[in-house]
Amino acid sequence: MNWNDLKARAQAAGGRHILDLFDDARAADFSVTAGGLLFDYSKTNLDADTRDLLVRMAEEADVPGRREAMFSGEKINETEGRAVLHTALRNLEGTPVHVDGQDVMPEVLDTLARMEQFAGAVREGAFRGQGGPITDVVNIGIGGSDLGPAMATQALTPYHDGPRCHFVSNVDGAHIADVLRPLDPETTLVIVASKTFTTIETMTNAATARAWMSETVSDPAAQFAALSSARDKTAAFGIDDSRVFGFADWVGGRYSMWGPIGLSLMMAIGADAFRAFLSGAQAMDTHFRAAQPLENMPLMLALVGIWHNQGCGHATRAVLPYEQRLARLPAYLQQLEMESNGKRVSMDGKDLPVDSGPVVWGEPGTNGQHAFYQLIHQGTRVVPCEFMVGAEGHEDDLSHQHRLLIANCLAQSEALLKGRSIDEARTLMKGKFQGEELERQARHRVFPGNRPSTTLVYPKLTPFVLGQIVSLYEHRVFVEGVMLGINSFDQWGVELGKELAKALEPVLSGDESAGGKDGSTRQLVDFMRLNAD
Ligand code: F6P
């Protein structure tokens, strides 16, 4: 991989202004459309030559070959010896997909049908709690067993016509206490979402929920469902097999909301809207597999990411949805991108020759504008920004507010591009200040501009469009991972902290000594012991 060539080009590009790259054709040429979405990356410092280099680098890394390997069920998660087939969960036609010579689709579709039946029964009141029809569903899970359904359930609020859905993830007892307090246990369904059914946060919260329910409900287990691959453990917890929805080891946690982990979302929006969500993702899969490089949206989104991170050295990227209901999308993408591509060793166990994936962060606009955009516009670090906005909102009677929202989104990328020169700043301040004071004041009002951003535009945030957007980002992460030569589908980096937390619990309770710990940890343990009741 020609990382040095890429870095040299990035260094050279630093001496030019993105605005100077614009001619009449650039906006269209540096944009991709797919399935009604428009991805505009013309406000980046990429030129056609470097884009060609990036496309060649993707080919050299065998992105097309690895892509086919993924879709066709090869075991591309080599450190865990697993296939990577979240795409099979949205393969609605059931076209055969084989793992170890066996078609996985009959089971996928059977599980989807079981989910639909159960969600339907809950939504229609045929499945009841001790006190009557289910009014509230509490999904207990963490990481991929929480972020996807929590993000998507909020995103699709206008489509809710089922029970209220709540999400509990943190082991902090405050989370579950606050969620359960206003609920009636007799009309609540608890979904324990955990692929492994061993995650300490989830199992602790599940036990708390069961204790809460057993105060008034005679058979609390009857109001529990489980989303897990570990049937022995769900049975040991007491959950009847008819309410256990399993998935195979080829569904990674952060890629899992398309299957059983999406059950709470299905409860909220119904089976038809859930299928629309799946078909949006499937449409993006089909596009990703078939489109030529320059017309391939996930590929181009990835190449822009590689350019900014590994080429230009920008260590972070901001995801800025101008869509309040996508408030959890940055957190969702943090797991998707950082758990997938935050790795310093390549698939073959060698050190990466370049930086791993970037830090991903963000907040919805316009809120972020009144918080951290100051740094994005005038700080010394460059933060590539990924804006996204819908042409239409759901609140027809508030279309003037939506116009204002769009105006703000487009204005931000324009401001980042153009900036404001010292001359413009002087003119602005001329009436108010003179001489040296004018100069000083003007300098504070200069915007360097020439700061890169991309904008993803969609017609309206429907279930189909949300599916397209999430699938777009999944494939972006995949391409970036292949180009870096890493395994995007394991997550060994989360293990050490888990092990140490387990070992610290008896130290905090006083059952074991802090003797073997480092000085800082010992001091923190002492403080906790002294200050807790
Ligand atoms: O700690 C990381 C992780 O393994 C994630 O990858 C996963 O999404 C999350 O924990 C939850 O795991 P589980 O679904 O097995 O409870």
> Parallel, antiparallel, or unpaired: how do β-strands 453-458 and 37-40 relate?
antiparallel
In the structure, which protein residues have their CB atom closer than 6 angstroms to any atom of ligand 1? 142-145, 194-196, 199, 202, 253-254, 339, 491, 494
Average pLDDT over residues 512-529: 93
Residue 270 burial by CB count (10 A; 0-12/13-18/19+): exposed, middle or buried? buried
Choose which residue among 195, 200, 203 to substitute to test ligand 1 binding: the one with the highest number of ligand atoms within 8 A of its C-beta: 195
What's the pTM? 0.97
List, for residues 404-446, the tens digit of each pLDDT value: 999 999 999 999 999 999 999 999 999 999 999 999 999 999 9
Residue range 86-269, CATH number: 3.40.50.10490
Pocket residue to mutate for ligand 1, from 79, 80, 82, 145, most atoms within 8 A of Cβ: 145
pLDDT level of residue 186 (50, 70, 90 thresholds) = very high
Number of CB atoms found within 10 A of residue 448's CB: 15
Query: pLDDT (tens digit, 9 = 90+) per residue, 258-306?
Result: 999 999 999 999 999 999 999 999 999 999 999 999 999 999 999 999 9
Tokens standing for residue 296: 């391939």
Average pLDDT over residues 73-99: 97
Is 359 exposed, middle or buried (CB count within 10 Å of its CB: 0-12, 13-18, 19+)?
middle
C-alpha 458/C-alpha 39 separation (Å) is 9
| CA 188 from centre of chain | 28
For position 228, what pLDDT does the model report?
A: 95
* Residue 176 CA to ligand 1 centre (angstroms): 18
For residue 1, the model assigns a pLDDT of 72
- What span, in angstroms and rounded, lies between the C-alpha atoms of 31 and 296? 10
* Domains 3-72+277-418+452-490 and 86-269 alike in fold: yes
Catalytic residue, candidates 93, 350, 370, 444: 370
Q: Give 207 Cα–ligand 1 centroid separation in angstroms.
A: 18
Indicate if 370 belongs to the active site.
yes
Q: List all residues 6 or more positions away from 88 whose beta carbon is below 8 Å from its beta carbon.
A: 73, 97, 104, 105, 108, 250
Whole-number Å distance, alpha carbon 141 to ligand 1 midpoint, is 8
Could you read off the pLDDT of 15-37 as tens digits, one per residue? 999 999 999 999 999 999 999 99
Atom 10 of ligand 1, nearest CA residue = 143
What is the rounded distance in angstroms from the CA atom of residue 50 to the CA atom of residue 5?
A: 9
For residue 27, what pLDDT is reported? Answer: 98
Instruction: Work out whether strand 224-227 and strand 244-245 pair parallel, antiparallel, or are unpaired.
Output: parallel
The CATH number for 3-72+277-418+452-490, chosen from 3.40.50.10490, 3.90.420.10, 1.10.3720.10, 3.90.850.10, is 3.40.50.10490
Helices 3-13, 48-60: axis angle to 10 degrees equals 160
Write out pLDDT tens, residues 302-355: 999 999 999 999 999 999 999 999 999 999 999 999 999 999 999 999 999 999
The protein residue whose alpha carbon is closest to atom 9 in ligand 1 is: 143
Q: Is 493-531 assigned to CATH 1.10.1390?
A: yes
Ligand 1 centroid–CA 252 distance in Å is: 9
Q: How confident is the model at residue 387 (pLDDT cuts 50, 70, 90)?
A: very high
Alpha carbon separation from 225 to 192, 203, 242, 264 (Å, rounded): 6, 13, 9, 11
Which ipTM score applies to this complex? 0.97
Atom of ligand 1 nearest to the CA of 228: 14
- Average pLDDT for the chain: 97
Mutate to test the pocket of ligand 1, among 79, 80, 170, 196 (most ligand atoms within 8 A of CB): 196
For residue 533, the model assigns a pLDDT of 75
| Extents of the domains making up the chain | 3-72+277-418+452-490, 86-269, 493-531
Which residues fall within 8 angstroms of residue 44, CB to CB, at 6 or more apart? 18, 30, 304, 307, 308, 384, 452, 453, 454
